[in-house]
Structure 1
Amino acid sequence: MKGILGRKVGMTQIFTETGALVPVTVVEVQPNKVLQVKTADKDGYQALQLGVQDKRANLVNKPGTGHFKKAGSNPKRYVKEIRGMEGFEQGADITASDLFNAGQFVDVTGISKGKGFAGSIKRHNYHTGPMAHGSGYHRGVGSMGAIINRIFKSKKMPGHMGHEKVTIQNLELVTIDANNNLMFIKGSIPGPKNAFVQIRENVKGKNPTEAATILTRNAKPTTEAAPVAEEQA
């Protein structure tokens, strides 16, 4: 299992040489630092602990400072483990180009946007009641079940909506901009702008496709101004 950590920048659109428009999400993937290597013999499972984006040293407690120092790294803002990943040593830097190729399918995990307190119709996709004036019941919760002076567990009711861990599978990685540490993933991914996400190889075994050739905009040539002839006396 290969994976890397990144930060969602926003959405845009790119064009292929065939003229197809592709909506993509731009993910900034700075080089990930390997903070810890976990093995089956010592820890009971195989994993790499990765960190991305530096933060101020005064925001880290002493145990955390020692942990980052052991890996020879600055304190990182986003730290996650990628299980089943191996092949890198502690303190190594991992880039998106080291793990992924254009045309590959990936799974993206993040924290979805928070919607606050929501009713059962919006939160659980319930049907509304009759919207005529005489019904008197439009967007209610519905039946509470048997009358036993309590609510059964798992009853779908109004409450907090969103801000939960969400994984979207089999998203196509359109292209990688190694110079600017950017990944362009087709479609939308969880979370608001500037949210951290995990990008891992897909687990459902969807085969990679042929990478599309992206249409790039050429820079306009600079034309020097013609010299002005001196006026003859």
Structure 2
Amino acid sequence: MNGIIGKKIGMTSIFDANGRNVACTVIEAGPCVVTQVKTEETDGYNATQIGYGDAKAKNTSQALLGHYEKAKTAPKRKVVEFRDFSIPEKALGDLIKVDEVFVEGDLVSAVGTSKGKGFQGVVKRHGFSGVNDATHGQHNRQRAPGSIGAASYPAKVFKGMRMAGRTGGERIKVKNLRVLKVFPDKNLILVKGAIPGHKGSFVIIEK
């Protein structure tokens, strides 16, 4: 599996070959540094670990500082491992650029952390419609959850009941997004549609 680490810049739109206005997400993809190469002989499987975004040395543990020192690179903020990375010529400390992994027209998957929305009610969290409308004596019930259980039997609320709670802040993977444009000189990639996360958040683009 090939991939790269990037940062979500925001959204824009471009015109395709048919003149249609297509919404897309702008991602600053790489350049990433190979921080570790795992092989079948030493680790039991083949994988390539890459890092993106410089971190402060004072905020990095001594063990990780030694790990990055082997690759002759600065500490990284985000590190991801890709199994069976199919660019075999990449060695420890080499750079991986966006045009080496993706071309226009590729179908990719985007992995990110969705926006955290805090504690929310059932209408926002699960799409409930509320308890009927405002007529027939209803008072402030438009966003209420309604009944959550029976009476004396079973005398409890079953696990998994859709209720209010914390929403967002979860790892989400969106599949089959098409690469519309690749700008290797600016390390930018344009992916059709929306991807999870706020502006400036880390995303993983897999192929």
TM-score by length of structure 1 reads 0.80
SS in 2 for 1:153: coil
Secondary structure, in 3 states, of the residue corresponding to 2:117? Answer: strand
Residue of structure 1 equivalent to 2:33:
33
**Corresponding residue SS for 1:25:** strand
Q: Flag the 1:170–1:139 CA change in 2: closer, same or farther, 3 A.
A: same
Indicate the residue corresponding to 1:70 in structure 2.
70
**Distance apart, 1:180 and its partner CA:** 0.6
> Alpha-carbon deviation of 1:38?
2.2
Aligned: 1:135 with 2:160 = no
Structure 2 counterpart of 1:31, which letter? P
Name the residue aligned to 1:144. Answer: 148
Counterpart in the other structure of 2:112: 110
Aligned partners of 1:44, 1:102: CA distance in 2, in Å?
34
* Alignment counterpart, residue 161 of structure 1, candidates 167, 175, 180: 167
Per-residue CA deviations over 1:44-80 (Å, capped at 9, x if unaligned) read 3332211001122111111111111111111111111
1:142 deviation in Å? 2.8
Letter in 1 for 2:145: V
Q: CA deviation at 1:16?
A: 4.0
* 3-state DSSP of counterpart to 1:114: coil
Cα deviation for residue 18 of structure 1 reads: 4.8
- Give the % identical residues: 40
Q: Distance in 1 between matches of 2:44 and 2:145?
A: 46
Equivalent residue number for residue 184 of structure 1 = 190
Aligned-partner Cα distance in 2 for 1:41–1:140: 59
1:171 aligns with 2:177: yes
- Distance in 2, matches of 1:149 and 1:36, equals 55
Kindly name which structure, 1 or 2, has the bigger radius of gyration based on alpha carbons. 1
1:119-130 alignment, distance < 5 Å: 119-130=121-132
**What secondary structure, in the 3-state scheme, does the structure 2 residue paired with 1:35 have?**
strand
Deviation at 1:104, TM superposition (A): 0.8
Evaluate the alpha carbon distance shift between residue 183 and residue 149 of structure 1 in structure 2; reply closer, same or farther with a 3 A threshold.
Answer: same
Cα RMSD of the aligned pairs, angstroms, is 1.8
Normalising by structure 2, report the TM-score: 0.89
Report matched runs for 1:185-224 at 5 Å.
185-201=191-207
Shift of 1:131: 1.5
Aligned residue identity for 2:205? I
8 Å contact kept, 2:114–2:168: yes
Shift of 1:184: 0.8
Alpha-carbon displacement from aligned partner over 1:173-194 (angstroms, at most 9, x marks no partner)? 0110011110011111110101
Contact 2:7 2:29 in 1 (8 A): yes
Structure 1 position 95 matched with structure 2 position 101 = no
Retained in 1: the 8 A contact 2:48–2:83?
A: yes
Q: Which runs of 5+ in 2 are unaligned?
A: none
Instruction: Letter of the 2:62 partner, please give it.
Output: K
1:148 is displaced (CA, Å) by: 4.2
CA contact (8 A) 2:130 2:145 kept: no
Partners in 1 of 2:19 and 2:176 — Cα distance? 24
